[in-house]
Structure 1
Amino acid sequence: MYKEGPMPRFDDSCSSSTDNHCIFGQVPGAAPAVPGMLPSMFSLPGQFGAMPMPVQAMTQQATRHARRVYVGGLPPIANEQSVATFFSQVMAAIGGNTAGPGDAVVNVYINHEKKFAFVEMRSIEEASNAMALDGILFEGAPVKVRRPSDYNPSLAAALGPSQPNPNLHLAAVGLTPGAVGGLEGPDRIFVGGLPYYLTEVQIRELLESFGPLRGFDLVKDRETGNSKGYAFCVYQDQSVTDIACAALNGIKMGDKTLTVRRAAQGNAQPRPEQDSVLLHAQQQIALQKLVFQVGAQPTKVVCLTQAVNVDELKDDEDYLDIMDDMREEGGKFGSLVNVVIPRPGPIGEQFPGVGKVFLEYSDTEGASKARATLNGRKFGGNTVVAVYYPEDKFSRQEYDG
C-alpha cells in the first residue's frame, strides 16, 4: 500500500448515496454500474421509512477501496478528463479490461496541489490490472501507480484478484513485461545521503554501473519537486543487489556519505565469485563519483582523469615530458597558473591523486574552456574525464577527491 501524506478518506465521508458532492470528476458517459448485479432493491437498516438503495450501489460502496488506484507524480497540466481518457486507453491497449466493452475508468479525483489522483475502475480485477502500469509515462512524466491508503488486502482478497494478470501486453504501452511491482520485494535497495544537486539521470548512471534497473524512484518534496536526498531502486538481475550495496555504501560525495542497503535491512555480503564484478563496478563508480561530487559550479581548477599513463609517471624523463605537454595543452585555454600531476613513490607507492592531472587557471573562464574542450577527448584509447575541482582542496594539496 502506498501513502502520500494525509489523504482524503472518501470512503468514510461518502457513506450515504445521497452525498452528491462525493462523485469527484465524474467521467461523462461512464456507466458506474457493475456488470452482473441484480436490479432488486433492499432497504437500508435503521430508521423506519429510509430510502431504499440499489444493490449495485451498496456493492460499489463496499468495493470502492479495491477498485480505486492512486496515481502520483502527475504533471501540472493533468485534469480529470485527461487522466480518465489516458488510463482507459492504456488499459484497453494492454488487454486489462475485463468488465466488458467501454471505458475502464468510472471516476477521477485530482489533488492538483499535491499532484496525485484517485482513479476509480469499474471492477476490482481492472484495478488490479492497473497496478501493472506503475512507471508509465503520462504527458512525458513517469507516474506512480499504487494502492490507496484505505486499501484492505484481506478484505480485497475475498472480493476478486489482487494481482495483475500475468498475460497483460505491457510492451504495447512501453513497459517491460515482468517488471510489475518494480520497486517492491526483498531486493529493493535504499540509497540515502545523495547530494541534492544530483539529477535523476546522474543517479541512475551511478547505480547502473552494476547493470540495468528494473525500477527507480528518486524521492522528491511534493511542494517544491526538489530531491529529498534519497531514492529506491531494484535491479533486473537480483544477483547484483548485494554487490551494489557493498560497493556504494560509504562512498563520499561532496559533503555527503552514501548509505546504501537493502530496504528490508539485510546483512548479506557478496559471494567470493562476485569479487571481479565488484572490482569492476568500484572502478566505474570512482570515475562517476568524481564527476558527481564536485557539482556543476565552475572553479579555477580542472581535474583530468585517464589522461596519463601511471607507469610513465615513474620515469623522471617521461614525467617531465608529460608536464611540458600538459602545460602546452592547458595553456591554449587561458592563463595557466600551475600544473600538478601526482606520481607514484620511488618504490611504486600509490599516493592520493596518482593518475590525475590538475590544471589551475587564473580565472574560471580559462578553466571553463579547458573543461569543455578536454572532457571526452581520447587519450591512449581512453576517454578523458574533465571536471571542476574545489579550489580549497587543491590549495591544501588534497588530491584524493
Structure 2
Amino acid sequence: MFIFKRNCQFGQIPGTTPTIPGMFPNMFSLTTGQFGGLPVMPVQAMTQQATRHARRVYVGGLPPSANEQSVATFFSHVMSAIAGNTAGPGDAVVNVYINHEKKFAFVEMRSVEEASNAMALDGIIFEGAPVKVRRPSDYNPSLAATLGPSQPNPNLNLGAVGLMPGSAGGLEGPDRIFVGGVPYYFTEVQIRELLESFGPLRGFDLVKDRETGNSKGYAFCVYQDLSVTDIACAALNGIKMGDKTLTVRRANQGTTQAKPEQESVLLHAQQQIALQRLMLQQPPAPIGIASKVLCLTQVVTEDELKDDEDYEDILADMKTECGKFGDLVNVVIPRPNPNGEASAGVGKVFLEYVDTESASKARTGLHGRKFGGNQVVAVFYEEDKFHQGDYED
C-alpha cells in the first residue's frame, strides 16, 4: 500500500468517469440484485480490483515536466505503436497515479496482458529522459500467472519506438541474477565489464538511491544466453572486490551450482575473472589503526567553508549522513582563518563515534562514496591527536 505526500496527485484521464483514488469508475455502481438486504458489487468491479496489481506498471525517472496527461498519452501512443494494446482499439492506459516529488508514476493498463507488454518499454525515452519500467511492489507473480501472460509478447514491434528486444529491460523471470556486495565506488561500466566476461547482457540495473543517485551496492542482470546464468553465478559468487565480497545468485533462489558438463567452461570463466579483478580492484586506502575517530578527505573545499550558511549546511549534512552508522560524539570541520593565514586540517572532516565498531562501520560505508561530487577517502585517526586539536597528518 502506498501513502503519498500532499504533493502527490491522482490523475484522471479526460473522457473517463471521475474516480476516487484506489477505486474504479464502476466500483459504486450497484446492481439491482440484493444479497442479505444489501446491494451486490458488480462482477466487473470485483474483477478489476483483483487484477489491479497485475495491470499496473511502475515508471521511474520521470522528468520534472511530466504530468498525468502527458504520461497517459505517451504510453497509450507507444503501446499502439509496438502493437502491444491487445485488448482492442482505444487507449491502453486507464489511469495514472503520479508522485512529482519522487519523479515516479503508476500507470494502470486495461488488461494484464497489456501491462506485461508494457514491461518491454523499459529504457524508452520520455520527454528527453530514459525511464525505468518495472512491476510495482505489490505485484504478485504467482497470482498474476493465473490472470494472464506475465512476459511481454515476443512479437512486439519495439523497433517502431527505437528499442531493441531486451536492450534495456528483460529483468523478469527465473534467470534474473542478483549481484550483491558491490563496492560503492564501482561504476556501471565497471560492473557490466565484469559481468560481460560471460557474454552479452539482455538487461542490467544498478540499484541507486533515489535521493542521492549513489549506488546502493547491488544490481540485477539477465544474460542474452540463459545457459550461462549458473556458470556466471558460480564463478562470481564469493569473489573479493576491494573491501567487499560479491554475492551472486539467481534472484529467486539462495544458491546455485554448476552442472558437471559446465566445469570446463567455469574454469575458463574463473580465469577471466581473475584478470578482471586486477583491472577493477581499487587500491585500498591506508586504514590506520582502528580508533573511535575517523578522518574524511576529499569531501569539502576551502571555499565551501568560508560562508557561514554553507558551513552550517555541510555540518548538518555530515551529522545526518554519518550518524547512520552509529552514535556520533563530535563532528569537527576545520575552517580557514578569516585573515588568510594557514589553518590546520582545512578540507578534512573528523568524526568521533561512541565506539570503534561504529567508526569501523562508517569507514566501510563512507570510503569511496561521493559527497558533493567528490569521492571520499576515509581513514582512522589517532584519538589523542584529535582531542588535542592536532589536525595535521
Fold conserved (TM > 0.5)? yes
Which residue number in structure 2 is paired with residue 7 of structure 1? 2
Structure 1, 146-155 or 132-141: larger mean CA deviation = 146-155
| Alpha carbons of structure 1 residues 165 and 150: separation in structure 2 relative to 1, 3 Å | closer
Offset of residue 44 of structure 1: 6.7
Which residue number in structure 2 is paired with residue 29 of structure 1? 15
Structure 1 residue 197 and structure 2 residue 192: aligned?
no
Q: CA RMSD in A?
A: 4.0
Q: Secondary structure at the match of 2:31?
A: strand
| Alpha carbons of structure 1 residues 272 and 101: separation in structure 2 relative to 1, 3 Å | closer
Instruction: Check the 8 A contact 1:245/1:260 in 2, yes or no.
Output: yes
Offset of residue 25 of structure 1: 0.5
Structure 1 residue 212 and structure 2 residue 200: aligned?
yes
Structure 1 residue 282 and structure 2 residue 273: aligned?
yes
Structure 1 residue 117 and structure 2 residue 105: aligned?
yes
Which deviations, in whole Å up to 9, do the C-alpha atoms of 1:154-197 show, x marking residues without a partner? 47735x54443332112333433367972233432222221212
| Alpha carbons of structure 1 residues 246 and 165: separation in structure 2 relative to 1, 3 Å | closer
Question: Within 5 A, what are the aligned runs for 1:54-69?
Answer: 60-61=48-49, 63-69=51-57
The match for 2:255 among 266, 272, 278 is 266
Which deviations, in whole Å up to 9, do the C-alpha atoms of 1:365-391 show, x marking residues without a partner? xxxxxxxxxxxxxxxxxxxxxxxxx9x
Which residue number in structure 1 is paired with residue 118 of structure 2? 130
Which deviations, in whole Å up to 9, do the C-alpha atoms of 1:330-379 show, x marking residues without a partner? xxxxxxxxxxxxxxxxxxxxxxxxxxxxxxxxxxxxxxxxxxxxxxxxxx
Q: Secondary structure at the match of 1:157?
A: coil
How far, CA to CA, are the matches of 1:43 and 1:70 in structure 2? Answer: 37
How far, CA to CA, are the matches of 2:226 and 2:268 in structure 1? Answer: 14
Overall identity of the aligned pairs, in %: 68
How far, CA to CA, are the matches of 1:153 and 1:247 in structure 2? Answer: 30
TM-score for the superposition, normalised by structure 2:
0.57
Residue type of the alignment partner of 2:192: R
Question: Within 5 A, what are the aligned runs for 1:88-107?
Answer: 88-107=76-95
Instruction: Check the 8 A contact 1:80/1:109 in 2, yes or no.
Output: yes
Structure 1 residue 167 and structure 2 residue 133: aligned?
no
Which residue number in structure 2 is paired with residue 398 of structure 1? none
| Alpha carbons of structure 1 residues 155 and 186: separation in structure 2 relative to 1, 3 Å | closer
Which residue number in structure 1 is paired with residue 338 of structure 2? none
Instruction: Check the 8 A contact 1:66/1:156 in 2, yes or no.
Output: no
| Alpha carbons of structure 1 residues 262 and 125: separation in structure 2 relative to 1, 3 Å | closer
Q: Secondary structure at the match of 1:177?
A: coil
Instruction: Check the 8 A contact 1:68/1:148 in 2, yes or no.
Output: no
Residue type of the alignment partner of 1:107: N
Q: Secondary structure at the match of 1:81?
A: helix
Instruction: Check the 8 A contact 2:194/2:273 in 1, yes or no.
Output: no
Offset of residue 257 of structure 1: 2.6
| Alpha carbons of structure 1 residues 276 and 249: separation in structure 2 relative to 1, 3 Å | closer
Which deviations, in whole Å up to 9, do the C-alpha atoms of 1:289-327 show, x marking residues without a partner? 146978xx99xxxxxxxxxxxxxxxxxxxxxxxxxxxxx
How far, CA to CA, are the matches of 1:187 and 1:293 in structure 2? Answer: 34
Which deviations, in whole Å up to 9, do the C-alpha atoms of 1:105-144 show, x marking residues without a partner? 1210012334332111223332232233334343422403
Which residue number in structure 2 is paired with residue 71 of structure 1? 59
Q: Secondary structure at the match of 1:43?
A: coil
Instruction: Check the 8 A contact 1:251/1:257 in 2, yes or no.
Output: yes
Residue type of the alignment partner of 1:277: H
| Alpha carbons of structure 1 residues 207 and 137: separation in structure 2 relative to 1, 3 Å | farther
Structure 1 residue 241 and structure 2 residue 229: aligned?
yes
Offset of residue 213 of structure 1: 0.8
How far, CA to CA, are the matches of 1:155 and 1:267 in structure 2? Answer: 26
- Where does structure 2 lack aligned partners over 5 or more consecutive residues? 19-25, 286-296, 299-376, 380-393
- Where does structure 1 lack aligned partners over 5 or more consecutive residues? 1-5, 10-21, 299-389, 393-401
Instruction: Report how many aligned residue pairs link the two structures.
Output: 274
Offset of residue 208 of structure 1: 1.6
Residue type of the alignment partner of 1:93: A
Offset of residue 28 of structure 1: 1.9
| Alpha carbons of structure 1 residues 293 and 90: separation in structure 2 relative to 1, 3 Å | farther
Which residue number in structure 1 is paired with residue 341 of structure 2? none
Which residue number in structure 1 is paired with residue 138 of structure 2? 149
Query: Which has the higher Rg, Structure 1 or Structure 2?
Result: 1
